Every structure is written in structure tokens, then in C-alpha cells.
């Protein structure tokens, strides 16, 4: 029985692993509606596959680059076109402490695209009513809470507890994991004391130097909301511009590609019904969504997901429906939202998107 590659993809994403899907778009030898032309890799399995099967060096490098930067690519090699799609787990903002700064921080984090988890040991502070924008609110001690969360390279840990001792407990635990960011609130004197204590307990200077403390970008913040702004700004900076392994600025930003869980979940189900998936493969100018965004069209007329709405979707939906009737395997299309079209639709965007439409029967 053919393996559903999207089911495997969701399992990897749910395990907080980055993955890249390589699709061979060969109109002369294409399995219409099949996933046989798709290969899914993590960083480890990509290297293993290259060694075992002599994977094309160019495609290997492109796939590796996609895993590192989140950049979707369309590459032609030996008369075949390869769609190389990176998939990153949703970035996780872990807020340790539920006080007056945590409240706006959780809201701003959710609006910036983070999956937010708030942890506090006080029931009056750790509750969904106080943090409606958080995906998870955990009421547990700072010593035991780490058994309830999965800290990894997609995690951004912010320590804003109510006291020096709790800061110490949290930082000591967070430093055991390979996170993308760790920041701790506190005055320079208080932070210095914490660092000296941890250094005396065999935490290396290199490890401690990656801790952002005092936390946040220096913007002269005073109020809880301003401090939360400074913190989430620094978190975004680390998400986009800072190398997780070295802690230094990169020459190019990490894209953190668009992620449409609803579309991928539907594709992971065994339905045996024709459907078309529209994926943005390139975008220039001001466009409503970026590379990687997806929309699904079923043969029954159901639409799931979006690539931007309005004129950015109308014509391509019609193309997808035509493909479903005529069993066309894939097609590319340009969506021009500049000039007259954008003006007529009342859109503030004015860019160009290129999409690829794929037909699936599974």
C-alpha cells in the first residue's frame, strides 16, 4: 500500500522536527494523483539518502538549504522540475511566569505567529481567562513544569518570573535544551548575580553568553506593554536573523515558511477523492501571503485554506477545477495583483505571485 507522505510529514512536524519535501514534476512520467513522486526528508535522513542512493548533488544542496533557511525553491535539473518545500514546526513561545509583563507578551506573541505556552505556579495567574491568546496555560511549579513541555530548536524561552530563585530554577532547566532563544528579565545587578552562581556550578561562559539578560531590545521601555514589545521584538529578531547555533547575526534571514495545518491534515487523510492543491512558489512586491501558503480545492467544490483572497484566488480556483475535470497532473500560473486589477479589487497589495497547482487522488 502506498504511504501517505503528508501523514508522515505531520508526524515529523508534531515531533518538532524540520522537514523538506522534494516533488519531482515530470510531465512525461508523472503519477497523476499519487505521492510516489514525493520524497520527505529530515536533516538526518537527507544525508543518509544522499549516501545510499547517490542523490543528485544540486538537489541535495537545494534541499539542505531549504532546511536551513526555510526557502522554498523550484529547480530544473536534467529536464525535470523539482519543487523543494521546507516545513518548520510552528515557533513556540514559552513564557515562564504569568505576571504583569507576561499578559501583553502572550498577546503580542500570538499575533506575531507564535504558539504560546504560559507557565506559572499560581492558579490565579495561570488560567485561560487571563491568557486567552495562549495555546496552553500550565499551572505547575517551575521545578516540575519542564516535564510537561517539549523544549527544542523551535522554542523561544522567556523567563519573567516573580523572583530571583524562580529565575535561577528556570534558567538552569532551559540551558539543558537546544532552544532558538532564551531571555531572562532582571536588572544588570540581579542578572550578574545569577550568572555568577551558574558559572560556579559548571555552566560554561559560552552557554551563558547566549542568554539575553537583561531581556529585550533597548528601546527605553517602561510600562509592561512597552517591555513586552521590546521582548517580542528581540524574539522575532532571533527567529529571523540570528543563527541558533552560534548566536550571531546571519547574512540572510530565516523565512519560517507559511504553514497551513488544516490543508496538510486534510491531505494526510485517506479519502481516495480528487483534489487540487495550490501552493505559492514565489512572491514579489506586496502580496497577502508568502511562499509556501496553500489552498485545497476538492472535486465537490470545497475550499480549504487561502492564498490571499479576492483576485489572488479567483482565476486560479477556476484553473484547479478545470484540472480536476481533465486529470491534468500539475500546472503553474502567475497571479498579477499590480495596477488596474488591484485597484478594482480595492486591494492595498500590488505584487506578483507564482503558484503551482497539483492534482491528488489519494
Of 180, 165, 250, whose CA–CA distance to 212 is shortest? 180
Residue 338 within a domain: yes
Whole-number pLDDT of residue 91: 92
Helix (H) or strand (E) holding 359: strand 352-360
Determine the Cα angle at 96 with ends 113 and 182, to 5°: 70
Residue 246 within a domain: no
pTM beyond 0.85: no
Question: Cβ(277)–Cβ(295) under 8 Å?
Answer: yes
Whole-number pLDDT of residue 118: 98
Whole-number pLDDT of residue 226: 98
Residue 254 within a domain: no
Of 130, 133, 40, whose CA–CA distance to 84 is shortest? 40
Helix (H) or strand (E) holding 163: none
Whole-number pLDDT of residue 28: 57
Is residue 68 located within the same domain as residue 107? no
Most distant CA atoms of the chain, gap in Å: 70
Is residue 58 located within the same domain as residue 102? no
End-of-domain residue from the set 206, 240, 274: 240
Whole-number pLDDT of residue 16: 84
Residue 27 within a domain: yes
Whole-number pLDDT of residue 188: 84
Average pLDDT, the chain: 88
Q: Which residues on adjacent β-strands are paired with residue 362?
A: none
Q: How many CA atoms lie within 13 A of 49 on its CB side?
A: 18
Judged on CB neighbours under 10 Å (0-12, 13-18, 19+), 56 is middle
Is residue 41 located within the same domain as residue 117? no
Q: Rounded to 10 degrees, what is the CA torsion of 93, 98, 100, 103?
A: 50
Is residue 148 located within the same domain as residue 229? yes
Whole-number pLDDT of residue 2: 62
297 pLDDT band (50/70/90 cuts)?
very high
Of 215, 6, 205, whose CA–CA distance to 96 is shortest? 215
Is residue 84 located within the same domain as residue 96? no
Is residue 349 located within the same domain as residue 313? yes
Is residue 198 located within the same domain as residue 161? yes
Q: Which domain holds residue 173?
A: 92-240
40 pLDDT band (50/70/90 cuts)?
very high
End-of-domain residue from the set 240, 271, 286: 240
Residue 210 within a domain: yes
Q: Rounded to 10 degrees, what is the CA torsion of 277, 268, 28, 62?
A: 80
CA distances from 37 to 4, 227, 329 (A): 12, 49, 11
30 pLDDT band (50/70/90 cuts)?
very low
Mean pLDDT over 21-36 rounds to: 68
Mean pLDDT over 132-140 rounds to: 97
Number of domains in the chain: 3
What is the domain-level CATH number for residue 169?
A: 3.40.50.720
Which one has a higher pLDDT value, 251 or 100? 100
Cα separation, 324 vs 30, in Å, equals 16
Whole-number pLDDT of residue 312: 66
Residue 317 has which C-alpha cell? 480556483
340 pLDDT band (50/70/90 cuts)?
very low
End-of-domain residue from the set 88, 104, 130: 88
Residue 72 within a domain: yes
Is residue 81 located within the same domain as residue 112? no
Strands 80-87 and 19-25, by their bridges, are antiparallel
Checking if the pLDDT of 346 tops 70, the result is: no
Mean pLDDT over 307-314 rounds to: 77
Residue 88 has which C-alpha cell? 518548520
Range of lowest pLDDT (113-127, 171-185, 280-294)? 280-294
Checking if the pLDDT of 134 tops 50, the result is: yes
Is residue 164 located within the same domain as residue 61? no
Is residue 102 located within the same domain as residue 233? yes
**Percent above pLDDT 90 for the chain:** 56
Checking if the pLDDT of 289 tops 70, the result is: yes
Whole-number pLDDT of residue 155: 95
Checking if the pLDDT of 148 tops 90, the result is: yes
Residue 223 within a domain: yes
Residue 251 within a domain: no
Q: Would you list the DSSP string of 116-133? A: EEEEES-TTTSSTTT-TT
Q: Rounded to 10 degrees, what is the CA torsion of 116, 122, 125, 127?
A: 60
Is residue 196 located within the same domain as residue 149? yes
Is residue 157 located within the same domain as residue 293? no
Is residue 88 classed as helix, strand or coil in its secondary structure? coil
Range of lowest pLDDT (92-106, 181-195, 224-238)? 181-195
Mean pLDDT over 2-7 rounds to: 84
- The dihedral built from the CA positions of residue 280, 135, 97 and 132, taken in this order, carries a sign that is positive
Residue 79 has which C-alpha cell? 529536464
Amino acid at each position: 500500500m502506498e504511504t501517505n507522505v503528508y501523514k508522515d510529514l505531520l508526524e515529523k512536524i508534531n515531533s518538532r522536527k524540520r522537514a523538506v519535501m522534494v516533488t519531482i514534476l515530470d510531465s512525461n512520467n508523472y503519477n497523476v494523483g499519487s505521492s510516489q513522486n514525493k520524497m520527505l526528508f529530515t536533516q538526518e535522513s537527507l544525508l543518509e539518502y544522499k549516501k545510499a542512493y547517490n542523490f543528485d548533488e544540486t538537489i541535495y544542496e537545494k534541499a539542505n538549504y531549504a532546511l536551513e533557511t526555510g526557502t522554498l525553491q523550484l529547480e530544473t535539473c536534467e529536464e525535470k522540475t523539482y519543487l523543494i518545500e521546507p516545513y518548520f514546526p510552528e515557533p513556540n513561545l514559552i513564557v515562564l511566569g504569568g505576571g504583569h509583563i507576561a499578559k501583553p507578551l502572550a498577546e503580542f506573541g500570538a499575533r506575531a505567529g507564535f504558539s504560546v505556552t504560559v507557565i506559572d505556579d499560581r492558579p490565579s495567574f495561570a488560567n485561560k481567562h487571563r491568557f486567552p491568546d495562549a495555546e496552553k496555560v500550565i499551572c505547575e511549579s517551575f521545578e516540575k513544569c519542564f516535564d510537561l513541555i517539549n523544549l527544542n530548536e523551535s522554542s523561544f524561552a522567556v523567563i519573567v518570573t516573580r523572583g530571583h530563585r524562580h529565575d535561577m530554577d528556570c534558567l538552569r532547566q532551559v540551558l539543558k535544551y537546544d532552544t532558538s532563544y532564551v531571555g531572562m528579565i532582571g536588572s544588570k545587578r540581579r542578572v550578574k548575580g545569577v550568572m555568577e552562581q551558574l558559572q560556579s556550578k559548571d555552566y560554561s561562559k559560552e552557554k551563558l553568553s547566549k542568554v539575553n539578560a537583561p531581556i529585550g531590545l533597548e528601546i527605553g521601555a517602561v510600562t509592561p506593554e512597552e517591555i513586552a514589545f521590546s521582548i517580542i521584538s528581540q524574539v522575532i529578531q532571533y527567529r529571523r536573523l540570528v543563527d541558533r547555533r552560534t548566536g550571531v547575526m546571519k547574512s540572510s534571514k530565516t523565512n519560517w515558511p507559511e504553514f497551513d495545518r488544516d490543508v496538510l491534515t486534510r491531505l494526510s487523510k485517506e479519502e481516495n477523492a480528487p483534489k487540487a492543491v495550490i501552493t505559492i512558489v514565489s512572491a514579489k512586491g506586496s502580496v497577502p501571503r508568502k511562499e509556501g501558503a496553500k489552498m485545497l480545492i476538492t472535486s465537490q467544490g470545497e475550499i480549504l485554506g487561502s492564498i490571499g483572497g479576492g483576485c489572488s484566488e479567483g482565476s486560479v480556483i477556476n484553473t484547479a477545477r478545470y484540472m480536476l475535470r481533465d486529470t491534468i497532473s500539475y500546472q503553474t500560473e502567475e497571479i498579477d495583483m499590480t495596477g488596474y486589477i488591484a485597484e478594482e479589487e480595492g486591494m492595498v497589495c500590488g505584487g506578483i505571485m507564482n503558484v503551482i497547482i497539483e492534482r491528488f487522488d489519494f
